[in-house]
A and B are shown apart, each in its own frame.
Chain A
Amino acid sequence: MVVFGTTFFNFDSFIEKTDSIEIIGKSVFPYGYHNILPLLNDSGRYSLGDARRPLHETAVLVEDVVHTQLINLLQQAAEVSQLRGARVITPEDLLFLMRKDKKKLRRLLKYMFIRDYKSKIVKGIDEDDLLEDKLSGSNNANKRQKIAQDFLNSIDQTGELLAMFEDDEIDEVKQERMERAERQTRIMDSAQYAEFCESRQLSFSKKASKFRDWLDCSSMEIKPNVVAMEILAYLAYETVAQLVDLALLVRQDMVTKAGDPFSHAISATFIQYHNSAESTAACGVEAHSDAIQPCHIREAIRRYSHKIGPLSPFTNAYRRNGMAFLAC
Chain B
Amino acid sequence: MTTYQEFIQQNEDRDGVRFSWNLWPSSRLEATRLVVPVSCLFTPLKERPNLPPVQYEPVLCSRANCKAVLNPLCQVDFRAKIWACNFCFQRNPFPPSYAGISDVNQPAELMPQFSTIEYIVQRGPAAPLIFLYVVDTCLEEEDLQALKESLQMSLSLLPPNALVGLITFGRMVQVHELSCEGIAKSYVFRGTKDLTAKQIQEMLGLTKPAVTGQQGRPLAPQDAAATCKFLQPVHRVDMNLTDLLGELQRDPWPVPQGKRPLRSTGVALSVAVGLLEGTFPNTGARVMLFIGGPPTQGPGMVVGDELKTPIRSWHDIQKDNARHLKKATKYYEALANRSATNGHSIDIYACALDQTGLLEMKCLSNLTGGHIVMGDSFNTSLFKQTFQRVFSKDYNGDFRMAFGGVLEVKTSRELKVSGAIGPCVSLNSKSPCVSENELGIGGTSQWKVCGLNPSTTLGIYFEVVNQHNAPVPQGGRGAVQFVTQYQHSNTQRRIRVTTIARNLCPSIHSPDESSYYRHHFVRQDLTQSLIMIQPILYSYSFHGPPEPVLLDSSSILPDRILLMDTFFQLVIYHGETIAQWRKAGYQEMAEYENFKQLLQAPLDDAQEILQTRFPMPRYIDTEHGGSQARFLLSKVNPSQTHNNLYAWGQETGAPILTDDVSLQVFMDHLKKLAVSSSA
A and B assemble together: no
- Residues of B near any A CB (own CB < 8 A): none
